[in-house]
A = this chain, B = another copy of it.
Amino acid sequence: MDRRKALKAFAGGATAMGVAGALGMSSMKANASETNPSKRPEIKLNKKGKVHHDPLPYVPLDPDAVADRAYKNKLIGDCMYGVFASIVEELAEKVGGPYLTYPTTVTRYGKGGVMGWGTTCGTVNGAAMAAYLVSDKPGPIVDEVINYFQYAELPDYRPASAIMDITPSVGDSTLCHVSVARWCEASGHKAFSKERTQRCAHLAASMTRKLVMALNAQHENSFKAMYPIPQEVKDCRSCHDKGGELEDTRGKMNCMTCHEKHEV
């Protein structure tokens, strides 16, 4: 590997990811970090003055294969890592280039709903981050996968190397602590049992499989949401979200988990 190839791989590893994404290495011209290591390259902005969204290349993946990898990765790096690293690793095998060196272990922070805090489930957080990394239109993918997380009976896929059957349950929310509570209730197992660890590994597999199916469909221009935002959430949003009379909050979470319906 000569200098040109090494630099090309290096730049490839950072394409579209800001810090070095604006190195403009494809033209191989001298850049700030080469001539002055203390200066950061410029971030590219779009017409709205926001960071330019420039996803990495995606190719269709085998949903079951990536799910099986997510099951194993969850057990060594926890839930967010389970989803995110598996997408990156599979694309490293199929695409190579930037994925061969893309950092993944930092996503371990998402475990247990962000460092054990029980807020957004790591499989949701990891799926959203992965969708943003590889899709040029991540919004509909993220909506689909999170609504699946909230409303489907999960896990709905048994990983090839599974060691037990898992009772499915409905997450009811984007949140780790709600999803775990619902599963403890459905299964009769405790929140720190080995069964719950296995359940979350199966969940990482199911979420990864769903994400890959959605990404594959979008890649083939055949994506259609199977889990649209429910009417009752739309009703709430019509007053409380953007453009509503109150416009006093925002979001797409299942309102009914914590709030009661009320007359307007």
Residues of A within 8 A of B (CB): 1-3, 6-7, 9-10, 13-14, 16-21, 23, 33-34, 37-38, 40, 43, 45, 49-51, 53-54, 75-78, 81, 85, 88-89, 92-93, 96, 99-110, 112-120, 124-125, 128-129, 131-133, 138-139, 142-143, 146, 174-178, 180-181, 184-185, 190-192, 240-243, 247-253, 257-258
Cβ–Cβ < 8 Å partners of A106 in chain B? 17-18, 129, 132-133
Q: How many copies does the complex hold?
A: 2
What is the CB-to-nearest-CB distance from A244 to chain B, in angstroms, rounded to a whole number? Answer: 9
Cβ–Cβ < 8 Å partners of A185 in chain B? 248
Q: Assess the A51–B248 pair: CB atoms within 8 A.
A: no
Q: Which of B124, B190, B249 contacts A184 (CB 8 A)?
A: B249
Q: Assess the B180–A117 pair: CB atoms within 8 A.
A: no
Q: Assess the A177–B81 pair: CB atoms within 8 A.
A: no
Query: Given the interface contacts A105-B16, A191-B241, does A125 sit within 8 Å of B120 by beta carbon?
Result: yes
What are 29 A-B interface contacts by the 8 Å CB criterion? A3-B6, A19-B85, A19-B99, A19-B100, A19-B105, A21-B105, A23-B101, A33-B101, A45-B76, A49-B76, A54-B105, A103-B103, A108-B132, A109-B133, A110-B129, A114-B120, A114-B142, A117-B251, A118-B253, A119-B120, A119-B174, A120-B120, A176-B251, A177-B249, A177-B250, A185-B248, A191-B240, A191-B242, A191-B250
Q: Which residue of B lies closest to A56 (CB)?
A: B106
Query: Given the interface contacts A10-B10, A177-B251, does A131 sit within 8 Å of B109 by beta carbon?
Result: yes
